[in-house]
Each structure stands twice: as C-alpha cells, then as structure tokens.
Chain A
Amino acid sequence: MSANTYQLSQEDKKFVGLHIFFAVLALSIGTLFGPLQALEHSGLDLYPYLQPLFKSYYQGLTLHGVLNALVWTTFFITGFLTLVVIVGLKRELRYPKLNRVGFWTMVVGLVMAAIPILLNEASVLYTFYPPLKAHWAFYLGLTLVVVGSWIEGYGFFFTFAAWRKENPGVRSPFIALAAVITMGMWQIATLGVAAEILTMLLPWSLGLIEGTDPQLARTYFWFTGHPLVYFWLLPAYISWYGMLPKQAGGKLFSDSLGRFAFWLFFLLSVPLGFHHQYVDPGVPAGWKFLHALLTYSVFFPSMLTAFTVIASLEYAGRQNGGKGLLGWIRALPWNNPSVSAQLFAGILFFFGGISGLANASYNVNLVLHNTAWVPGHFHLTVASAVTLSFWGISYWLVPYITGKKLLNEKTATWANWLWFIGMIIFSNAMHVLGLLGAPRRTPLGLAPYIPEEWSGHLLRVGIGGSIMFIGAVLFVVTVARTAWSKKAEPAEVEVPVAEAIHDPQDTPQWLDAFKPWLIGTIALIIIAYGPQLVDQIANISLNAPGGKVW
C-alpha cells in the first residue's frame, strides 16, 4: 500500500514547507497577544509594559486577529492543499511556476499589510469595518494576499484539468477533488471583499474619494466573511475524511457522502452572509430571514460530516479490537499526537457548532450579537476545529517535508492537551459572559459598567487563555525543533491517505462534475444576494469620511 503513495519532489517539499514556515511564524506572533487580551479581562493589563512598541489593546487585538485568523490559516491551507493536490492526483503541478508566483504574491501582501499594523496605522481589527480608516498599504496588502491565494488556486485547477485529460473515465481522487472544491468556493467568496476594497476602501484611503458607504461595505465584507469560515474548515475536513481514518487504522466510511458534503458546502457557503448582519439597520428583515434558513441548510453537510467521520473512526476502533457500543473510542490511537489533536478538534467543534447555530438563529442573535459569546464561539471553530487539526496535520507534515522524526511526540501531546483544556475553560467563560451581556472587542478592565457577577467568569478567561498559550508555545517548539534541531533523527514518513470502504468508482458521476454545481451555486447567489446588492449599490452614499480614531 505504501508504495502507492506518490512522493513530492524535493522542490515541492520545500515549497510546501515555506508555506508552513510563514503560517507558523504568523501563529507564533499572533498568539503572543492572546494571553495579553485574556489576562486584561482578568484584571491584569500588561499592555502598558509594551509601550512604546505596541500602543494599545486594539493594536494587539488587530495583530491577533489578522495573523491568526487570516495569515496562519491562509498560508497553512494553501501549503497543505498543494500537497493534497499533488499526492491525491499522483502528479506534479501543471504549472509549478504559477503556484510560486501566487505564493510570493501572498508574502509580499503579508509584509505590506503587516508594516502599517505594526506602526499602529491600521488598528482596525481583522474585520476592518469602515469608516475606521487604515493606511492604504494595509488594504493593498490584504488584496495581494487574496490575489496570491487565487493564483495558487488557478495552479490547482490547471493541475486537476490536466489529470482529468490523462485519466478519462476515472473518478477523481476524493482529497484532490475536495481541495479543488475548496479553492473554487474561495474564488467566488472573495469577490465580496475584492469589491469592498477595490471600489471603496483603497480609493478612499488613497484620498481619491471622500468617504465610504459603511453599510454596503459590511454587505460586501460578509459576502466573503462567512465562506471564509468554510475556507478554514474544509481543509480540516479533508484531513478528517481523507487522512484521519487511515491514521486511526481504518477506512473512509463513505466516499460518495464525503463528496456530497463538499459539494453542498460549495453550493451553500456563500449565499448566507446576512446572518452576520441580523442587527444591521440597512438590510430588510425578510432577506435576513431567508439567509437564516440558508444558514440552517449549510449546517446539514456538517451534520453529514459528523456522521461519516465518526463512523470512519468507529470502523477504525473496531478494526483495532475495540468492543461494545462505545468501547472502540478507547481503541483509537490516542497516543499518536496527530490523531489526538484532531479528536480534540472534533470534540470542541461539537460545542462550536452548537453556539454557531445559536448565532445563526435570526432573532436569537439579539441576545448574542457583538457579545463575548461570539469570540467564544469562533475560538471553538477556527481556533479549535481548524487550528488543532492543522497542528495534527503538522505533526506528520513537518516530518514528511524535512525527512525527520517528530521531536517529539511528548511535547506535541502536551501541546494538544493544554490547548484542549485551556480552550474548554476559556470558551465556556466567554459564552457565559456573552449571555450576561459582556461586549466583545473591549478591554473590559477599563470599562466602567462591569457588574460584579461577571468577575468570576472574567478570571476564567485569563486562566483558560494562559493555559492555551503554554500549549501553543509547545506546538511551535515541537515543529521548530523537528525542522531545525540537530537532535531530530532522520525518518521516512508517509502521507496518510485513507481508502474508502466502498470503491470510489461506484460513486455516481454527478458527484464528480463541476458544471451542475457551479451553475446551481451562481443561481443561488443571484437569488439570495442579487436584489439586495442591486438595491444597496444603486443607493450608495459615500458620505462617511471616518478617520483614524485610535
């Protein structure tokens, strides 16, 4: 079986490794600010000691959000998917230079956006809502990161098309198709933020236009903002469906349902952005309700994923000798840090899914909007389901590209456990605070309106955040030592690719064809977004000049 696994060339390993290097670098810096925010909530404000290097809580929060949610994810995803496409299709990239151009465009964009943030010229948080006015280099840098990711996506599409030509009548390999679906969705989704930046924010920050239309900007932003979540999540799902079953000692339970779930994500990820705008004054309630129903429908493929992934794990556990209704859980290889990271990711995602469904539930959002519940929620999704899965992937990927054994499993296991336990404490406290009315994005130590009943939970935010931070340090130490320490032993590492229980050739053809799904997706976006976009653009008022208020 191992002979079947296609090997990346040395150049491609290096290329993937560069992605991971920038991703982990971003995570290392971005995560430094996590405990600063968490401890501030507990009454220990360390920001005054960082003067004049870092000016404020908000600058730190901007670095935390941009580097972790946007950079760590995007660089890791493009790198990981490069490997997935090559290994999945068992062929080289069709135009390797194109992918290199995409990658270095992302790096240039990253540097360009980072400079104004570090100079406190772009402390606008990672949603950069106008008319908070950042330096133009911030907007241009973000644009280049997105454009670079598009170009890397084109590289995947050309490679996939070339494989199709070479393999007529063969079902595409699941993981490669899933990677291409993810990047395809991303191309459509990012049109919103591209329109926001290119037609409004960039000309405004350059002084070419006087003001912005903040409501229209939000509509553009959330056109991208929610599918962004699936852009983070789907690569983790690729690992859960296509790799984790093999690592756990089993097979993928259903190839067709895996594909079906990915196509549903392709179809439904975009036309539901108004569920982030339930309390916006400029969007009619009826459209918000429609998007609520569409958001519910995108919950369905996640429910399918839960079943297929857990069933694959149950199959693995029973192959390992696990008995009884739930005894197979203990028979999973919990001592493999790559597996345990992803199992923890899944457990935390259960709760992230629940709190996300509450956010998405139209008027229920009145209880939660802009409260601490929201960061509590997305730390269970992007910072748990996604981040812990990426850690788990890193534990075999870094050894694979460096040709060295993980140094070592012990520190990796501790990293997972600390992140898991810290996250439970932190996110539970944040959810409770949100229900009690605590706002997000606020240094609560400075707020004059804090009731006594919040204090115990605020303390738990600091405790949980600090535990998580130790876990993150251990993760970075583990991958850095694996890559660079002289102690790391050489090792032959394989890319884990799971087989399906049923032959993929039995998968029906409509689950392996882009055209019907692409047409359906565009039609659904036009129905769900068309009238409101036309209306809001026709009534545009660029009358909010805003400015730098930090």
Chain B
Amino acid sequence: MSDKNQEFHPKGTLTILIIFVLTLILLWGSVYLILLNRGVTI
C-alpha cells in the first residue's frame, strides 16, 4: 500500500454530508412542526 493512499483525507465527503445533515434536520423538522401544529390525538 502506498503512502499516498494513507494520506487521503475525505474532507469534501464530510462537507457534503454535513450539508446533507443540515438539509435533513430542516426538512424533517418542518414536517415535525406540522405534526405539532395539527394537535393531539388522545
């Protein structure tokens, strides 16, 4: 195994995934707020 491979740090990957997580929280959160707005069921 070459040293070059060892040095590879997937920074771009982590950036994309952080954007994904923020989108996920935003979209999931908006549906969750709709749920809270529509009232209780018991």
Complex contact flag A–B (Cβ < 8 Å): yes
A contacts, CB < 8 Å to B: 251, 253, 306-307, 310-311, 314-315, 317-318, 325-326, 328-329, 350, 353-355, 357-358, 361, 363-364, 366-368, 435, 501-503
Can you list, as one digit per residue, whether each of B18-37 has a CB less than 8 Å from chain A (1) or not (0)?
A: 00100110011001101100
- In the complex, the answer to whether A318 meets B8 with C-beta atoms within 8 Å is yes
Decide: A326 and B24 in contact? CB cutoff 8 A: no
On chain B, the number of residues with a Cβ less than 8 Å from chain A's Cβ atoms is 21
Evaluate contact between A307 and B17: CB separation under 8 angstroms. yes
Check if B13 sits within 8 Å of A310, measured CB to CB.
yes
**Can you give 23 contacting A-B residue pairs, CB < 8 Å?**
A251-B5, A253-B10, A306-B17, A307-B13, A310-B10, A310-B16, A318-B8, A325-B11, A325-B12, A350-B23, A353-B24, A354-B23, A354-B27, A355-B27, A357-B24, A358-B27, A358-B28, A361-B32, A364-B28, A364-B35, A367-B34, A367-B38, A501-B8
- Assuming the A-B contacts A354-B23, A354-B24, A354-B28, are A363 and B35 also in contact, with contact meaning beta carbons closer than 8 angstroms in the complex? yes
Task: Report A-chain residues with C-beta under 8 Å of the C-beta of B34.
Answer: 367, 435
- Whether A358 lies near B31 (C-beta < 8 A) is yes
- A313 to B36, alpha carbons, bound, how many Å? 40
Instruction: Let me know if A311 and B13 touch, CB within 8 A.
Output: yes
Interface residues of B (CB under 8 A from A): 1, 5, 8, 10-13, 15-17, 20, 23-24, 27-28, 31-32, 34-35, 38, 41
User: Which chain B residue shows the least CB distance to A327?
Assistant: B12
A-side contacts of B1, CB under 8 Å: 501-503
Q: How far is the CA of A326 from the CA of B24 in the complex (A)?
A: 20
Contacts of B38 in A (CB 8 A): 366-367
Question: What distance in Å separates the Cβ of B30 from its nearest Cβ neighbour in chain A?
Answer: 9
Q: How far is the CB of A302 from chain B (nearest CB, A)?
A: 11
How many residue pairs link A and B with beta carbons under 8 A? The number is 65
Would you call the interface of chain B mostly helix, strand, loop, or mixed?
Answer: helix
Q: Assuming the A-B contacts A357-B24, A366-B35, are A315 and B15 also in contact, with contact meaning beta carbons closer than 8 angstroms in the complex?
A: no
> A318-B8, A501-B5 are known contacts. Are A310 and B17 too (CB-CB below 8 A)?
yes
Which 4 A-B residue pairings sit nearest by Cβ, starting from the closest? A311-B10, A310-B13, A311-B13, A358-B31
A100 to B15, CA, bound (A): 47
- Picked from B5, B20, B31, B35, the residue with its CB within 8 Å of the CB of A350 is B20
CB distance from B42 to the nearest CB of A (A): 10
Least distance between B23 CB and chain A CB atoms (Å): 7
Taking CB as reference atom, which chain A residue is nearest B42? Answer: A285
Where chain A touches its partner, the secondary structure class is helix
* Residues of chain A with a CB closer than 8 A to B24's CB: 353-354, 357
Q: Which residues does chain B contribute within 8 Å of A353, judged by CB atoms?
A: 24
Residues of B within 8 A of A503 (CB): 1
User: When chains A and B are docked, how far (Å) is the Cα of A311 from the Cα of B23?
Assistant: 20
Q: Which residues of B contact A317 (CB under 8 A)?
A: 12
* Cα of A355 to Cα of B28 in the assembled complex, Å: 8
Bound CA span A525–B19, Å: 35
Q: What chain B residues lie within 8 Å of A358 (beta carbons)?
A: 27-28, 31
Please name 20 further chain A to chain B contacts, defined as beta carbons within 8 Å, in addition to the given A253-B10, A310-B10, sorted by A numbering: A306-B17, A307-B10, A307-B17, A314-B10, A314-B12, A315-B8, A325-B12, A325-B15, A329-B12, A350-B23, A354-B23, A354-B24, A354-B27, A355-B27, A364-B35, A366-B35, A366-B38, A366-B41, A367-B35, A435-B31
Residues of B within 8 A of A314 (CB): 10, 12-13
Q: Please, how many angstroms separate the alpha-carbon atoms of A353 and B8 in the complex?
A: 28
What residues of chain B lie closer than 8 Å to A361, measured between beta carbons? 28, 32
When distances are taken between beta carbons in the complex, the residues of chain A under 8 Å from B35 are 363-364, 366-367
A367 CA to B1 CA, complexed, in Å: 52
- Bound complex: CA of A241 vs CA of B26, how far in Å? 29
Distance A366 CA – B1 CA, assembled complex (angstroms):
52
A253 to B35, CA, bound (A): 40
A377 to chain B, nearest CB (A): 12
